[in-house]
Amino acid sequence: MLLEIKNLNIQFETPHSVSQAVKGLNLQIKPGETLGLVGESGSGKSVTALSIMQLLPQTAKISGEILFSSENKNSSIEAFSKVGEAPVDLLKLSPGKLRNIRGSRIAMIFQEPMSALNPVFRCGYQITETIQLHQKIAASEARDQTYALFEKVKLADPNRIFQAYPSQLSGGQKQRVMIAMALSCKPDLLLADEPTTALDVTVQRSILDLLIELKATENLSMLFISHDLGVIAEIANRVGVMSEGELVETGLVNQVLKNPQHPYTKGLVACRPSLKQKVRRLATIDDFLQQPEFKTIPVTNAEISRRRKNIYGHSPILETKDLSVRYPIQRHFWGSPSRWHQALDKISLEVYPGEIFGLAGESGCGKTTLGKVISRLLSAQEGSIWFRKLNLNELPDDGFRTVRREIQMVFQDPYASLNPRMTVGDAVLEPMTAYKLGASRRQRADKVVELLETVGLEADHAKRFPRAFSGGQRQRICLARALALQPKLLVCDEIVSALDVSIQATILNLLLDLQEKFGLTLIFISHDLSVVRQMCDRVMVMNRGKVEAIGHPETLFEHPQSPYVQSLIDSIPGS
Cβ neighbours of residue 203 under 8 Å, at least 6 residues apart? 170, 171, 172, 196, 362, 363
Cβ atoms 371, 525 nearer than 8 A: yes
Given this model, what pLDDT does residue 336 score?
Answer: 82
Tell me: the pLDDT tens digits for 436-495? 998 888 999 999 999 999 999 999 999 999 998 988 999 999 999 999 999 999 999 999
Distance CA 145, CA 151 (A): 10
Given this model, what pLDDT does residue 70 score?
Answer: 67
Given this model, what pLDDT does residue 74 score?
Answer: 47
Q: Using 50 as the pLDDT threshold, list the residues of the chain that sit under it.
A: 73-79, 81-83
How many Cβ atoms from other residues are within 10 Å of residue 412's Cβ? 17
Given this model, what pLDDT does residue 85 score?
Answer: 59
DSSP for 7-64 reads EEEEEEE-SS-EEEEEEEEEEEE-TT-EEEEE--TTSSHHHHHHHHHT---TTEEEEE
Given this model, what pLDDT does residue 363 score?
Answer: 83
Given this model, what pLDDT does residue 75 score?
Answer: 44
pTM comes to 0.85
Distance CA 117, CA 560 (A): 39
Largest Cα–Cα separation, the chain:
79
Cβ atoms 238, 1 nearer than 8 A: no
